[in-house]
Each structure stands twice: as C-alpha cells, then as structure tokens.
C-alpha cells in the first residue's frame, strides 16, 4: 500500500502465527488450509506446521477463512463538521470491524476538503486516530460549488489520492473537461457522482412502479446513465482517467461497458446495498434506512449490477458508508436525508446474498472487495510472503443479526439492520497491525 | 380485522366486503332520529390533521361521535410542522391520553405508518402526501356499489392529475381489487411512470371513454401549471374536461371534491342525475364509522363489542 497517501495511528507491528485457517486469495490463487506467520507487520511465511517464534501470538484459526483485507474507496467519515455522526476513529473502527484494511474518505465535509492545509490536518488527525490506513480524497471544485477547480496539484502533493465532488455531480461539462485537462499536471483519478439534477429534481427514490404506487417523486435511472455517457465522452476526448461512483442502474452498467469498449480510462464501483436490495424494500417498509442516493432500484437493475461485477465492468465494491444521526433518519421518508452505513456489513451482505445464494463465487466477491484502491493507485492486498500484513479472519458459517450488538460506527442507519447475515469478521490486520478483534475471539497462547 | 388502516394495499377483498357491509348497517342507524350508538363509549379518538381538510376531518369527527367515542381534534393546518422529531413528539404526547385510535392527515408519504410505530393506538391514514387516502377509496366503492349494484366488471376511467393524487392511487388499488377494469387518463406528464404495473390501463386522451361505465374525475390543482406539468389550463380543459358532450347516457360521474368548476368538470355535469358527487360526501360518515368499528370494536355485532377489545397496549416499537 502506498504509505505516502494513507495514514493510520501508530500501533505495534503484528507478530502472529495464524494457525489452521483456510487461506484464500484470488490473486495469488491460494486456497487451502495452512499456517500464516506475520512478523513485524509483514507476512513472513506461509506453510504447514510453522513453528511459533518467541514472543509471537498464536491465533487458533481452524474453521476460519483468512482473506486479504478489503479496500473501500468510498467512505464518509463526516469529519470535519459532523463528528456527532462519525469521526476518523469511529469510522476506521467500523471499517476494521468489517474486515477493511484501507479506506478512502470523501471530501464533502464541512468545510469541504478543498485545500492542501485541510488535507494535511486530516492526515495528521489520522496519524493519531485511524485504526486502519485512510486516505483523504479532495474536492474537484472549490467548495464543491462546481465552478473553479481546486489546487489539484497542491492537493495531490499534500497526499490526496484522487478528486471527487461526491454528494454532488459536476454539473458543468466545461468544468469537468478542465479538471480532466488539469489531471495531466496533478495526476489523481477523478471520481464522479453521476446525476443530472434536472432529471432527478425532487426525487426521493427510484422512479418506477413502486414510486408510482407510493406517490413519491422518482429519480430516473437516466439521471445517472446520461451523465456517465457524457463524462465518458469528455474523458475519451481529453484522455483523462475517471472512476464512476456507486453505479445503480442497468443503463449505467451499459454506459460504462460501452466506454470501456471504446478505450476510455474508466473504472466503476457498486455498493453492497445496490447489489443486494431493491426498491421493493421501500415499498414494504417505507423505512428511511432504505433511503439513499442513488436510490435502490429495480430487481432488473440489481441483476445488471451483479452481471457487471461478474464480468468486471464493475471493477470493485464500495460501501458509500454514509452515517446519519438517529434524529435525522427518524422522519417521514420524503424528508429524511439520503445515505446508509455499510462498512460493518459489506462482506456479510455480499456473502449471504450472492455467494451463499449461488449467484457469484467467493473468489469473485473477495477479488472485487479488495480491488477498491486500484483505481487510485493503491494496490490490492495479497496473501504472500514479503507483503505487508493486510488480512481478515472470517467465520464464513457464523450467522448474526445485524445491529443486535450495536455498531462500531457512531451511526446506526444501516440498510441491513435487523437482517440475519452469514459470515462474520473475527479479526482484521491492517497495514501490518491488529486493527480489530471481535470481543469473543479470545487471544490464545500469547507467549 | 387488522389493527391499522394505512393503505388499501393491505386490505383483502374480504376485508373490503366486510367494511362495506358494516357501512350498510350503519346507514340504517343514520336513518334514525337519534343517530348515536354506544359502540365506542369511553374510548378516545384523536383527529391529527397537519393539512387543512374540512371535508375529511369533519367526516371522521361525525363518525366518531355517532359511535359515542370521545374526540380530540388536533389541527396544525397549513404548516409543515410534522417534520421528524416533532411528529414523534406530538404522537408520544397524545399517546398519554391513551387513545384507541389516531386518525392522521399529513403532507408526507408514510406518515401514518410512522405514527403506527410510535403509538399503541390503531392508526387510520386520512391521507399521506401523494400516497394514499384509503377511506376515500372505501367510500367511493360504497357509493358506487349502492348505485351500480355490483362492482365486479365495471369499467372505470380515472381522469386527470393521477401523478399528484392520493385518491387516484387508493382508488386504482381498490377498484382493481374489487374486480373493476381501470383506465387512468390524463396528460402524459401527469401519469406516473410505471403506473400500469398497478393493474390499470393508461390512456392519454379521452378517446374510448364512451365505453366506460364510470368516469372518475380528479381535482386539477392550479399550482401544477407553474410546475410545467401542462402548458396551460385552457389546453388541459379542452382535452380532458368532462362536459355534457363527454358524459354519455348511462355513465356515472364521480369526483373526490372539491370540484374546480369549468376545469376538470363542466358545470352542467356536476349536478346531473348521473353525478354521484353528493352521494360520495354522504357516504363518508357511514364508511368511516364502519372503519372505526372494524378496527376498534373487533369482529362481532355492534352489541357485543366488549368481548373483543383492541389488542393490549404494547410499548411503541422504536425505529431503527
Ligand atoms: Zn455520491
């Protein structure tokens, strides 16, 4: 992992002998029971019957699966400005509890992350508080107003791994074009929240039969896909690199597919909630835990996202973890804010709804959940000798009720709240240090 | 019977039949000189109205009083104070009166369902945003069946601003559930995308309306003009107004009121013998008595309601 861009609080380098886990890594082709030795935060050895070096903790992991740690390129840490909803410590703790070894934070905070000094101060805070390495994306435009470009080159020098006005689209095609031209100087992928405000005006959920039934204004899928098509055309013309955030609709997958076929440098992400849930949940419950932007769409859209994930048109999974206070979410659906949390449930949701349901193989889900840093130049973690220790231990057969034992996140607006999911992260090693250990997962055999 | 009436979608055909039958028996009571029955004596009904609606709130008020319930009217007309916390606070405060039922009208979709989470009382949706108005649909069914005899197989055209109409939504569900053949008709900008999946046909002109047994016109609100939904009221009226020429002999005319004379309906049809508009208003009270009775007094005869008290009070469920 590029340590120049990601920061975490100091923590002792892990010295662990993980004994008897199923080691599983789609990139190295590893899949089998073996021991894994972490020394000084690095994977020192993989093999059978490894000796425990002095001072090394033994983790008895028989029955667990060791996976490369997940990487989430789309997290809202709500810092600065709304620390009542989340902060760097709680957000990265939630990430670690979900098996994530690295995350990228969105800049739509208060103030917006649009100057090098803000990036530097956030990085400083991360070096004091972050449980897992975290990178801070910077805004494309000053104040996210969609007008003037931020000092993108300075921001990149200060450590911003990329740029986004997430939460808002870049409405002006001219401004996006300038940002993509400037990318030659600044580097850094431009990540895009794709939405045409004129098409989604007033909308609170997916436009379709369910919104017709409920009498709520809809956000049509073309609000997203037409902007993707526009931005792909601009990126192609300028030779720029773009990353499409939180894909939600069949038309959007098609737009990305076409752009890739035309040679556009474009990557895309989809969230666990869009891959697992549809607007039928809104119909059934009218629960604001299902209110998000882009909205949960139809079953047909969901299937298209799954197909996109399978084929690689959708490059990676991103949670779009968006904490909101209880008071804000406890409102009628139309007036509640958009956004749901998801760091702690991402793997379990996909494992339950896609892997156990026989829709996608575990290999593919793990590959896409660990690929989130790649568009931003952060390589995916690997389980191999000499690599930094970034891994999680997961009990693939453990069923648990979401929210029953509370959340590590400061907010509880989880779209999977109350559901029984199968697959539980017991321990996470991130950036070479133990970042999370489930309370019941006892330390065994420390010398 | 259920505990709440939140949506027509929740009702089976049998539920609807039972409510309509009960309304019929209350209609006989309403024919008496003394119109009160002791059915809900000692129980409290709260009318919580966040939107002005004289028609609906007075109809519920009269229904509750004829059943001898104690009534509390809470009005917050014209304001939008039922934002999140304050709606919850209000409901929890009112719950201290230990109401048996809360009737709620709100500008927000799903408000009734939220209230149902926050109170142990039965909740009746008297209109939530553009979503539903289930008692209007029930009184329309009741009115229509009294006049037409049977509902099954009736061809009904709902004409006008379907997009913004909670009445349209509840009525599409109610009419189709009772076996009617429903067509919604209006300018394409006022027909919600995907509405045909509710089981109705869609038409963008009045061509073919002569085959309808019932024409149900919706109120056209002037403010929709400024929202650029239709180019002008004149063009709307020219194409979608029901007038004497459109209303064929033998066709019945309905409207949820209040009517914009000269917009969705021409004056000559409003008071015609084919119009059920006055009958709809009259039906309101007995149908709402029937709904209150079904939710609060349980299944049996109006005389033995004490044997089936509402479900024990439970702690309000918290919202995740
Ligand atoms: Zn976004």
Of A212, A215, A330, the CB nearest to B194: A212
For residue B16, pLDDT beyond 50: yes
Give the residue among A50, A56, A55, A41 at the shortest CA–CA distance from A21.
A50
Higher pLDDT, B78 or A191: A191
Q: What is the pLDDT of residue B35?
A: 76
- Which chain B residue's Cα is nearest to A327? B85
Assigned token pair, B65: 């009083």
A325 Cβ neighbours under 8 A, 6+ residues apart? A84, A85, A411
Check B166 against A332: CB less than 8 A apart. Answer: no
Q: What is the pLDDT of residue B298?
A: 63
Q: Using CA atoms, how far apart are residues B173 and A73, in angstroms rounded to an integer?
A: 44
Look over chain B and give the mean of its residue pLDDT values, rounded to a whole number. 87
Check A216 against B109: CB less than 8 A apart. Answer: yes
Q: Are A373 and A137 in contact (CB under 8 A)?
A: no
Q: Using CA atoms, how far apart are residues B215 and B246, in angstroms rounded to an integer?
A: 10
Chosen for mutation from A299, A332, A337 (greatest number of chain B CBs closer than 10 Å) is A332
User: How far does the centroid of ligand 1 lie from the alpha carbon of residue A274, in Å?
Assistant: 13
Q: Using CA atoms, how far apart are residues A58 and A53, in angstroms rounded to an integer?
A: 10
Q: Which of A128-137, A288-297, B50-59 has the lowest average pLDDT?
A: B50-59
Check A403 against B320: CB less than 8 A apart. Answer: yes
Q: Are A396 and A273 in contact (CB under 8 A)?
A: no
Residues of B with CB under 8 A from a CB of A: 9, 82-85, 87-88, 106, 108-111, 113-114, 129-132, 164-166, 169, 192-195, 197-198, 319-320
End-to-end CA gap in chain A:
30
Q: Using CA atoms, how far apart are residues B102 and B94, in angstroms rounded to an integer?
A: 9
Check A331 against B130: CB less than 8 A apart. Answer: no
For residue B303, pLDDT beyond 70: no
B121 Cβ neighbours under 8 A, 6+ residues apart? B46, B95, B99, B100, B101, B102
pLDDT band (50, 70, 90) for residue B1: low
Question: Could you write out the DSSP letters of every residue in A157-220?
Answer: HTT--EEE-TTS----HHHHHHHHHHHHHH--EEEE----HHHHTT--EE-SHHHHHHT--EE-
Q: Which residues of A touch B109 (CB under 8 A)?
A: 214-216, 286, 332-334
Check B109 against A215: CB less than 8 A apart. Answer: yes
Q: What is the pLDDT of residue A18?
A: 97
Q: Is the peptide bond before B258 cis (omega within 30 degrees of 0)?
A: yes
Q: What is the pLDDT of residues A8-54, one digit of tens each?
A: 999 999 999 999 999 999 999 999 999 999 999 999 999 999 999 99
pLDDT band (50, 70, 90) for residue B320: very low
Q: What is the pLDDT of residues B57-116, one digit of tens each?
A: 999 999 999 999 999 998 875 444 544 457 888 898 999 999 999 999 999 999 999 999
User: How far does the centroid of ligand 1 lie from the alpha carbon of residue B214, in Å?
Assistant: 47
For residue B301, pLDDT beyond 70: no
Q: What is the pLDDT of residues B151-209, one digit of tens each?
A: 999 999 999 999 999 999 999 999 999 999 999 999 999 999 999 999 999 999 999 99
Q: What is the pLDDT of residue B210?
A: 96
Check B83 against A289: CB less than 8 A apart. Answer: no
Give the residue among B262, B272, B242, B282 at the shortest CA–CA distance from B59.
B282
Across chain B, the runs of DSSP E, i.e. the strands, are 44-49, 70-75, 101-106, 122-128, 155-159, 181-185, 201-203, 214-217, 252-254
Q: What is the pLDDT of residue B28?
A: 83
A-B CB pairs within 8 A amount to 88
Phi-psi region of A115 (alpha: psi -120 to 50; beta: other; left: phi over 0): beta
Task: Give the Å distances, CA to CA, from B236 to A269, A409, B36, B222, B245.
Answer: 45, 53, 45, 11, 16
User: How far does the centroid of ligand 1 lie from the alpha carbon of residue A330, in Å?
Assistant: 22
Q: What is the pLDDT of residues A139-182, one digit of tens each?
A: 999 999 999 999 999 999 999 999 999 999 999 999 999 999 99
Q: Which residues of A touch B193 (CB under 8 A)?
A: 207-208, 211-212, 218, 220
**Side by side, which strands form the sheet with A134-136?**
A70-75, A100-105, A134-136
% pLDDT > 90, chain B: 72
Q: Are A90 and A410 in contact (CB under 8 A)?
A: yes
Chosen for mutation from A209, A215, A409 (greatest number of chain B CBs closer than 10 Å) is A215
Assigned token pair, A264: 């556009």
User: How far does the centroid of ligand 1 lie from the alpha carbon of residue A205, in Å?
Assistant: 14
Give the residue among A200, A204, A267, A201 at the shortest CA–CA distance from A231.
A267
Burial string for A138-163 (b: 16+ CB within 10 Å, else e) reads bbbbeebebeebbbbeebbebbbbbb
% pLDDT > 90, chain A: 94
Q: What is the pLDDT of residue B306?
A: 33
Q: What is the pLDDT of residue B256?
A: 95
Task: Give the Å distances, CA to CA, from B40 to B33, B44, B99, B298, B300.
Answer: 19, 8, 12, 11, 14
- Average pLDDT estimate for A383-387: 96
Check B198 against A208: CB less than 8 A apart. Answer: no
Of A215, A332, A403, the CB nearest to B166: A215
Task: Give the Å distances, CA to CA, from A249 to A13, A137, A200, A254, A390.
Answer: 43, 25, 14, 9, 32
- Average pLDDT estimate for A238-265: 98
For residue A233, pLDDT beyond 60: yes
Q: Using CA atoms, how far apart are residues A124 and A158, in angstroms rounded to an integer?
A: 11
Q: What is the ipTM of this complex?
A: 0.82
For residue A416, pLDDT beyond 80: yes
Residues in chain B: 320
Q: In Å, how far is A352's CA from the nearest CA of chain B?
A: 22
Higher pLDDT, A378 or B83: A378
pLDDT band (50, 70, 90) for residue A447: very low
User: How far does the centroid of ligand 1 lie from the alpha carbon of residue B114, in Å?
Assistant: 27
- Which chain A residue's Cα is nearest to B196? A209
Q: What is the pLDDT of residue A441?
A: 67
For residue A2, pLDDT beyond 50: no
Assigned token pair, A304: 């298209």
Q: Using CA atoms, how far apart are residues A207 and A140, in angstroms rounded to an integer?
A: 29
Q: What is the pLDDT of residue B231?
A: 85
Q: Using CA atoms, how far apart are residues B269 and B261, in angstroms rounded to an integer?
A: 10
Q: What is the pLDDT of residues A53-89, one digit of tens each?
A: 998 999 999 999 999 999 999 999 999 999 999 999 9
Q: What is the pLDDT of residue A150?
A: 97
Q: What is the pLDDT of residue B61?
A: 95
Q: What is the pLDDT of residues A341-359, one digit of tens each?
A: 999 999 999 999 999 999 9
Residues of A with CB under 8 A from a CB of B: 207-216, 218, 220, 286-287, 289, 327-336, 403, 412-414, 417-418
Q: Is A320 a catalytic residue?
A: yes
């Amino acid at each position: 992992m590029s340590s120049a861009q990601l920061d975490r609080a100091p923590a002792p380098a892990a010295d662990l002998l993980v004994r008897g886990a199923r080691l599983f890594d789609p990139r190295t082709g590893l899949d089998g029971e073996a021991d894994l030795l972490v020394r000084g935060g690095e994977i020192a050895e993989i093999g059978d019957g490894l000796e425990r070096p002095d001072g090394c903790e033994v983790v008895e992991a028989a029955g667990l699966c060791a996976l490369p740690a997940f990487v989430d390129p789309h997290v809202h840490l709500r810092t600065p400005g709304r620390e009542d909803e989340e902060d760097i410590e709680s957000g990265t703790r939630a990430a670690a509890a979900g098996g994530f070894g690295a995350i990228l934070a969105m800049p739509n905070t208060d103030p917006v992350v649009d100057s090098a000094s803000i990036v530097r101060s956030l990085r400083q805070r991360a070096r004091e508080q972050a449980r897992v390495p975290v990178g801070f994306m910077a805004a494309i435009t000053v104040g996210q107003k969609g007008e003037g470009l931020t000092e993108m080159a300075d921001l990149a020098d200060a450590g911003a791994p990329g740029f986004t006005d997430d939460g808002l689209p870049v409405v002006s095609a001219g401004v996006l074009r300038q940002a993509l031209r400037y990318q030659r100087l600044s580097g850094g992928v431009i990540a895009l929240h794709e939405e045409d405000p004129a098409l989604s005006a007033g909308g609170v959920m997916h436009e379709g039969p369910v919104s017709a039934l409920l009498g709520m204004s809809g956000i049509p899928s073309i609000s997203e896909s037409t902007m993707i098509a526009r931005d792909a055309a601009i990126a192609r013309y300028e030779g720029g690199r773009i990353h499409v955030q939180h894909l939600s609709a069949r038309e959007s997958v098609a737009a990305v597919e076409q752009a890739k076929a035309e040679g556009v440098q474009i990557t895309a992400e989809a969230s666990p909630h869009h891959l697992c849930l549809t607007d039928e949940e809104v119909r059934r419950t009218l629960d604001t835990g299902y209110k998000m932007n882009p909205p949960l769409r139809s079953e047909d859209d969901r299937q298209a996202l799954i197909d996109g994930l399978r084929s690689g048109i959708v490059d990676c999974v991103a949670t779009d973890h968006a904490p909101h206070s209880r008071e804000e979410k406890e409102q009628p659906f139309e007036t509640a804010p958009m956004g749901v949390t998801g760091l702690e449930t991402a793997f379990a949701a996909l494992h339950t709804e896609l892997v156990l349901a026989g829709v996608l193989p575990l290999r593919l889900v793990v590959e896409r959940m660990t690929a989130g840093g790649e568009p931003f130049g952060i390589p995916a973690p690997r389980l191999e000798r000499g690599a930094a220790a970034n891994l999680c231990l997961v009990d693939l057969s453990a069923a648990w009720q979401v929210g029953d034992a509370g959340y590590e996140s400061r907010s509880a607006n989880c779209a999977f709240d109350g559901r029984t999911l199968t697959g539980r992260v017991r321990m996470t090693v991130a950036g070479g240090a133990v970042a999370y250990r489930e309370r019941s997962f006892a330390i065994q055999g420390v010398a | 019977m259920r505990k709440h009436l939140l949506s027509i979608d929740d009702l089976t055909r049998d539920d609807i039949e039972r409510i309509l039958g009960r309304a019929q028996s209350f209609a006989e009571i309403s024919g008496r000189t003394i119109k009160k029955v002791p059915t809900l004596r000692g129980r409290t009904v709260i009318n919580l109205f966040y939107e002005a609606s004289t028609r609906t709130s007075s109809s519920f008020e009269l229904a509750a009083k004829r059943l001898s319930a104690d009534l509390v009217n809470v009005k917050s007309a014209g304001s939008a104070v039922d934002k999140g916390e304050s709606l919850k606070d209000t409901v929890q405060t009112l719950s201290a009166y230990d109401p048996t039922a809360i009737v709620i009208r709100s500008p927000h979709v799903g408000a009734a369902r939220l209230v149902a989470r926050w109170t142990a009382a039965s909740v009746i949706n008297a209109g939530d945003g553009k979503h539903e108005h289930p008692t209007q649909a029930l009184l329309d069914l009741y009115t229509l069946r009294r006049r037409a005899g049977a509902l099954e197989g009736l061809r009904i055209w709902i004409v006008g601003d379907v997009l913004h109409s909670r009445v349209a939504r509840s009525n599409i569900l109610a009419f189709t559930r009772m076996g009617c053949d429903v067509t919604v008709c209006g300018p394409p900008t006022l027909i919600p995308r995907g509405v045909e999946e509710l089981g109705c046909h869609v038409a963008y002109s009045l061509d073919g309306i002569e085959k309808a047994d019932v024409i149900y016109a919706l109120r056209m609100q002037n403010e929709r003009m400024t929202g650029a939904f239709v180019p002008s009221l004149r063009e709307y009226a020219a194409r979608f107004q029901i007038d004497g020429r459109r209303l064929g002999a033998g066709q019945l005319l309905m409207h949820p009121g209040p009517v914009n004379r000269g917009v969705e309906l021409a004056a000559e049809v409003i008071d015609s013998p084919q119009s059920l508009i006055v009958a709809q208003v009259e039906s309101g009270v007995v149908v709402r008595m029937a709904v209150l009775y079904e939710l609060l007094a349980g299944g049996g005869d109006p005389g033995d309601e004490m044997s089936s008290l509402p479900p024990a009070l439970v702690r309000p469920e918290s919202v995740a």
